[in-house]
Structure 1
Amino acid sequence: MRKTTIFLAFIALSMSLCAMSEEITTNGFIFPEYQKGKVYFKNKQVVEALLNYEMISKQMLFKQNDQILSLGLPETTDSVVIAGRVFVFYENVEFFEKITAGKESLYIQTNSTMVIDGREAGYGGFSQVSNTKSVNSFSSDGDGGQPLTHLTGNVQYRAKMSYTYWVKQGNKFSKISSKNQALRIFSKQKLDVQAYLDSHKVDFDSLKDVKDLLIYCYSLQ
Structure 2
Amino acid sequence: MKKSIFLFIFTAFTFCAFSQKVKYYTVQPGENILDIIPKSEMYEYPAFESGVVYFKNGKRSASKLNYNFVYEEILYISTTNDTLTIANPEEVKYVSIGKDEYYYATNRFVKLDTIIGDVKLGIAGFFATVSKRRIGAYGTTTDGGSESYGSYVVPNNAKLELIPNVVTTVAYSKALFIGNRFNQFIPVNKKNIFSFYPEKEEKLKLYLKDHKVNFAEYADIVSLVKHMNTDS
Higher-RCO chain (CA-CA 8 Å, sequence separation at least 6) = 2
Name the counterpart of 2:117.
Answer: 102
Name the counterpart of 2:50.
Answer: 36
How far the C-alpha of 1:210 sits from its partner, in A, is: 1.4
Amino acid of the residue matched to residue 67 of structure 2? Y
Amino acid of the residue matched to residue 113 of structure 1? A
Name the counterpart of 1:127.
Answer: none
The superposition leaves residues 150-172 of structure 1 with CA deviations (integer Å, 9 ceiling, x where unpaired) of 6xxxx997642131423348796
Please tell me whether the aligned partners of residues 137 and 148 of structure 1 are also in contact (alpha carbons under 8 angstroms): no
Report whether the alignment pairs 1:208 with 2:219.
yes
Please tell me whether the aligned partners of residues 39 and 47 of structure 1 are also in contact (alpha carbons under 8 angstroms): yes
Please tell me whether the aligned partners of residues 24 and 158 of structure 1 are also in contact (alpha carbons under 8 angstroms): no
TM-score under structure 1 length normalisation:
0.62
Residues 1:159 and 1:198: Cα distance change in structure 2 (over 3 Å):
same
Name the counterpart of 2:104.
Answer: 89
Residues 1:29 and 1:206: Cα distance change in structure 2 (over 3 Å):
farther
Amino acid of the residue matched to residue 215 of structure 2? F
Please tell me whether the aligned partners of residues 176 and 218 of structure 2 are also in contact (alpha carbons under 8 angstroms): no
How far the C-alpha of 1:5 sits from its partner, in A, is: 1.1
Report whether the alignment pairs 1:196 with 2:207.
yes
Q: Distance in 2 between matches of 1:103 and 1:75?
A: 23
Residue in structure 1 matching 2:174, options 152, 158, 162: 162
Name the counterpart of 2:4.
Answer: 5
Q: Distance in 1 between matches of 2:203 and 2:66?
A: 40
Please tell me whether the aligned partners of residues 77 and 83 of structure 2 are also in contact (alpha carbons under 8 angstroms): yes
Q: Distance in 1 between matches of 2:150 and 2:121?
A: 32
Please tell me whether the aligned partners of residues 114 and 159 of structure 1 are also in contact (alpha carbons under 8 angstroms): yes
TM-score under structure 2 length normalisation:
0.59
Amino acid of the residue matched to residue 110 of structure 1? G
Name the counterpart of 1:76.
Answer: 91
How far the C-alpha of 1:58 sits from its partner, in A, is: 2.8
Q: Distance in 2 between matches of 1:73 and 1:102?
A: 30
Indicate the SS of the match to 1:161.
Answer: strand
Please tell me whether the aligned partners of residues 27 and 159 of structure 1 are also in contact (alpha carbons under 8 angstroms): no
How far the C-alpha of 1:147 sits from its partner, in A, is: 7.6
| Cα root mean square deviation, aligned | 4.3
Name the counterpart of 2:68.
Answer: 54
Please tell me whether the aligned partners of residues 137 and 147 of structure 1 are also in contact (alpha carbons under 8 angstroms): no
Report whether the alignment pairs 1:218 with 2:232.
no
Indicate the SS of the match to 2:229.
Answer: helix
Indicate the SS of the match to 2:42.
Answer: coil
Superposition map of 1:82-161 within 5 A: 82-91=97-106, 93-99=107-113, 100-113=115-128, 138-139=152-153, 148=160, 159-161=171-173
Q: Which runs of 5+ in 2 are unaligned?
A: 8-31, 132-142
Q: Which runs of 5+ in 1 are unaligned?
A: 9-13, 117-129
Matched pairs, number: 191
